[in-house]
Amino acid sequence: MQQLLGGASRSEFESSLATGKTKATTGLKEAEDGMAQAKAGISQAESAIAALGAQIQSTEQALEQAKADGNEQAVADYTKTLNGLKTSLAEAEKGKAAAEAGLSKAQAGKDQATAALAKIAQGEAGLKQLDAARKKLDDGQAQVDSGRKELKANSSKLSAAKTQLAGAKKQLDQAKSEIDANKAKLAQGQAELDAGRAQLNAGQKEFDQKKAEFLKGKADLAKAKEKLEAGEKTIKEKTAELEQAQKDVEKGQKDLEAAHAELQFAARQVGANSDMRFVSEDQSTAVSQVSFKIQTDALTPADREQIKAIAAGPQANGVEVLFSKEIMQDMSQVFGSSEIIGVVIAAIVLVVMLGTLIAAGLPLLLALLGVGAGVGTTMAFSSLIDMASITPALALMLGLAVGIDYALFIIHRHRTQMLAGIDVGESIARSVGTSGNAVVFAGLTVIIALAALAVPGLPFLTVLGLSAAFTVFCSVLLNITLLPALLSLAGTRLVSKRARRKAAALVENPVIKEPFSARWVRMVTKVAVPVTLLVVIVLGAIALPATQMRTALPDGSAEPADSQAFQAFEQTSDKFGAGYNGPLLVLADLPENLTKRQAESKALDVADKLRDYDGVVAAIPVALTENHRLSAIQVIPTDGPSSEQTEALVHQLREDYSEFSEATGADIAVTGQVAAQIDVSEKVTAALVPYLSIVVGLSLILLLLVFRSIVVPLLATGGFLLSLAAAFGASVMVYQFGWFSGFFDVNVPGPLLSFLPILLTGILFGLAMDYQVFLVSAMRERYAHGEPAKDAVRSGFSMAAPVVTAAALIMISVFAGFVFSHLAMIRPLGFALAFGVLFDAFIIRMTLIPAVMHLLGDKAWYLPKWLDRILPDVDVEGSKLNELLDSEESASDDDYDQDYTKENATV
């Protein structure tokens, strides 16, 4: 039996048969489970295919409508959406086909397992037949063994017979010799011989019979062995088929699992996109996002017009098409109608102040030339340097304001001296030597304040500050170089005949008429303490809202109510949610060596975790790099881009950085325009204190040189801080709280412009120091010429107040023109500057400063002797110049008297 099984024991064969039966049974159960999973997967795939089919049908209808409308952009958008849906449908159908293939393979595996079980049953029956054959073979073997024993016994008998025959032959030989003697014995021997032969024949016959039976048993054994070998071969074949069936079942299971994974991944993708809507729930509004290859600020007017032209087709068919602020906002025009109105008001003030069109036109001409040089240079570098869109607008605003004011200071001094009878050339020299010095130092304070905008380390703010500082520098340079030449060309025409007659009449018949500036300063200094307290209380009350100031970059809600940008913002917020106006971008840094599917799955894991946050409406992976290391995920927040909730969401996501890494294995970074705006606002706000420290410190040194006093620079800086806080408070009232919003055309109150605080600080400080220099330098001039300190405050104020008043009105007019600018971003800055100048010029410089300086008296000009020795004398009030000109005039008069005496003596 051992040989019949090919060297294997019966127990091993039975164990192999039992193992095959177990595997076949397990394969049958797994195949049935696989069929159940495949059927469930096919059902899920059919549901997903039905949902995608419905979306494709609605998108195809919208696409056909867009084609009929001729809206190429909408056709491109719907085509892109349709392709994405078809791709998802193809993936779902592929998953269904894979599930159906898995079902077929599972069915085949089941059939194979069933057939294998049947063949194993046949093998078990064959084993039983083999046992019967083995029994029969054992019986035959027993018979053969019995035959062999009998044959062996017969052989013994044959040997004995032979021995007996030999003996008989010997006896025969003996008998032959004794034939005659023993014939009876011979006959007896012959009889015994015949009997032995008969026994031998019988034994031989029996031996032949046993041999035939042995040969038959051997043949039966050979047939049984052949049958056993055939059964073993059948078992081996069935075992191989069973193993192949097992492999097929395992492969079918893997295919089924792969199809199920594909189906699950497709379902995850569909689920991830389910929260993202491009058509509103009421089917009345559709939104399309446009991505440009270049920065939005770099779009030319032609590009914007080309984009807007897309709306012509749908609008002709009654479809309202609205574009967002980023598309509608054109920064190429920095000058609008409201700015022109501000310049016209400034021109009227100049005509009233200076009396002639020539005198009024020179400041405007100088301002335009300075702006042309500064803004033109800025625009020339715009192709080489990235700059903010409001950079030329800010340079224009400041260039106009300071250009007009600086020219006004010099021209007013020159005109006053000409009316006093001073020659044109000498008056120009005196004006440039006095007011020109003040212009230089006033301009330096503004330039320092603007150039220091590089302190926060933001490139766009640095370029903005340097551009504005260069424009101011151009204005200062033109006022101390070109303006004296123009004044020389204008000559006496700068003063009208009416003004000359009036001045001559006053000389001949002086009429004591105290100007309003003298009456004002006398009243202020008379009640200096109450005035000081009133100013501090009023400005402090206005400044209180500044404690709740929030900053951000403006969104579409800051645009005019009748603009497309505002309507698009509001429509998107109403139909889709405010978060669609400012999506966030989360960049997921994925682990190395991932396949595309693994990377996409990781990105979906990150998106799933992002959707768990309260402030997130949708989170969708939108892009994957070629090396599968970075995935971009678009996050739609619940609230708008400038809301506190969105800002808190950005901070929360960044704080939970480690949680994402632990949960998904991917590191995240929050970026995008909204996050960048939040970062810029926070960085600018954080830089405000060091910036203010640097600007104030440098300006204190400059004012120390100008006024040669410790108290005056400190007083000037304290007054500036009070007016700055009041400007902040007024801006918060209007643009954040919404007070007087109707008058100032504020549609939706919100955070202030993120870099408004630092810009307002720098610009207002420079302008405040301008007024400080012009007012207090006049007081310093009177004090230096010998007047008592308190009298110098009144006389110096009376001399400088009219021109400072005119300059402040011009500043306010120019800045107020930008409050209703066509550029929404510049409006709050124009408002803050206009009211900042109003507070600083009229309340601080013309009310608080003279009151406090009158109270201090000589102490206002205190300077330690050791400091007085080491400080250079810049002589901003021009006292040395006046002494030099007076001495030259006196020497000229002495020479004339001597010549006259000699002529008389000769005669």
Q: Domains of the chain: which residue ranges?
A: 10-274, 337-557+680-876, 583-639+641-671, 877-907
Q: Which pLDDT value is given to residue 732?
A: 92
CA–CA distance, 37 with 658 (Å, rounded to integer):
37
Closest residue by Cα to residue 799 from 784, 772, 779:
779
Residues in contact with 655: Cβ distance below 8 Å, sequence separation at least 6, in sequence order: none
Whether 479 and 410 have beta carbons less than 8 Å apart is answered as: yes
Q: Which pLDDT value is given to residue 543?
A: 93
* Residue 632, strand partner residues: 587, 623
CA–CA distance, 1 with 237 (Å, rounded to integer):
21
Closest residue by Cα to residue 545 from 694, 716, 740:
740
Q: In the block, which residue shows the tokens 């399309």?
A: 288
Q: Is residue 388 classed as helix, strand or coil in its secondary structure?
A: coil
pTM for the whole structure: 0.60
Closest residue by Cα to residue 707 from 591, 867, 598, 548:
867
Closest residue by Cα to residue 701 from 448, 410, 358, 491:
448
Decide which of 2.90.10.10, 3.20.20.300, 3.40.50.300, 3.30.70.100 is the CATH code for 583-639+641-671.
3.30.70.100
Q: In what order do the strands lie in the sheet with 630-637?
A: 616-624, 630-637, 584-589, 667-671
Q: Is residue 785 classed as helix, strand or coil in its secondary structure?
A: coil
Instruction: Report the relative pairing of strands 752-753 and 551-552 from DSSP bridges.
Output: parallel
Other Cβ atoms within 10 Å of 131 Cβ, number:
12
Cα 376 to its chain centre, rounded Å, is 33
Closest residue by Cα to residue 87 from 332, 266, 209:
266
Q: In the block, which residue shows the tokens 């330098």?
A: 777
Closest residue by Cα to residue 802 from 764, 781, 771:
771
Closest residue by Cα to residue 692 from 602, 781, 764:
764
- Per DSSP, 454 falls in state G
Distances (CA, A) of 555 to 393, 559, 568, 819, 829: 19, 8, 11, 17, 15
Closest residue by Cα to residue 568 from 775, 841, 287, 200:
287
Helix or strand run (H / E) with residue 46: helix 10-69
* Residue 618, strand partner residues: 636
**Half-sphere CA count of 153, side-chain side, radius 13 A:** 10
Q: Is residue 667 classed as helix, strand or coil in its secondary structure?
A: strand
Residue 447 in tokens: 């330039």
DSSP calls for 52-63: HHHHHHHHHHHH
CA–CA distance, 349 with 119 (Å, rounded to integer):
114
Please identify every stretch of the chain with a pLDDT value under 50, giving residue numbers as ranges.
1-8, 331-335, 889-907
Dihedral sign, CA of 718, 724, 727, 733?
negative
Whether 731 and 831 have beta carbons less than 8 Å apart is answered as: yes
Dihedral sign, CA of 836, 839, 845, 849?
negative
Residue 420 in tokens: 């006093």
Closest residue by Cα to residue 601 from 672, 660, 653, 666:
666
Q: Residue length, the chain?
A: 907
